[in-house]
Amino acid sequence: IDGRTVVTGPNGEVEVPAGRGEHTVVVSRHGGGPEVLVRERVTRVTVAGLRHTVEIPLVPAGTISGRVTLRDGAAAPALVQGVRLVATGRLGRREAVTDESGRYSFGLLPAGRYTIELDVDTLAPDSTIEGEGSKQLDLSMGRAEAVDFTVRRATARERFTPQGNGGGGARMQVRRAAN
């Protein structure tokens, strides 16, 4: 409050001496604890009497996480690591990149409709997405949802067809060299 840092007690309350007049309260998450979103980060308060109560509503945050896996189950971290996923929803556009196990996560999300899209341009050159590269879901308050994608080794034809533009780009033909 007014540039001073205070931390709430276990019950979420704090008393701060403040004189009469207008004050600014900035709320941010501190330390561990439940994953919550602050609905309103900056509040202006006018203190007229000896005591004024300010309530800052918090809502449980949601999480969307998942995994990009290889269809045939082979251990091929190069095919699932470093794949970019894009979540579009109430907070705009957010990006995540898969780790060596193909896992990714979008945390601290408010409830709402989200589209999760796998960026095919970040797949390894010898792999392709199997099925849809974009999935939609409705995230409920405080829930964790999983969205998984499967990739597979590309065929020779798929390796030479650009993936990022729906395959409508230039195609290369592969021919055996004459002996």
Taking only the tens place, the pLDDT of each residue in 25-82 is 776 665 555 566 655 556 666 666 666 667 666 677 889 999 999 887 665 788 899 9
- β-partners of residue 138 are 113
Q: Which pLDDT score, from 0 to 100, does residue 171 have? A: 38
Q: Are strands 134-139 and 92-97 parallel, antiparallel or unpaired?
A: unpaired
3-state secondary structure of 158: helix
Average pLDDT over residues 88-103: 92
* Mean model confidence pLDDT for the chain: 77
List Cβ<8 Å contacts ≥24 apart for 22-26. 22/46, 22/47, 23/47, 25/1, 25/54, 25/56, 26/1
From residue 62, give the alpha-carbon distance in Å to each of 18, 59, 143, 148: 35, 9, 5, 17
Where does residue 166 fall: left (phi above 0), alpha (psi -120 to 50 degrees), or beta otherwise?
left
Is the model more confident about 92 or about 21?
A: 92
Q: Which pLDDT score, from 0 to 100, does residue 35 have? A: 61
Q: Which pLDDT score, from 0 to 100, does residue 173 have? A: 38
3-state secondary structure of 68: strand
Taking only the tens place, the pLDDT of each residue in 98-151 is 999 999 999 888 889 999 999 999 998 888 999 999 999 999 988 999 999 999
Q: Which pLDDT score, from 0 to 100, does residue 174 have? A: 38
Angle, alpha carbons 159-161-162 (nearest 5°) = 105
Q: Which pLDDT score, from 0 to 100, does residue 175 have? A: 37
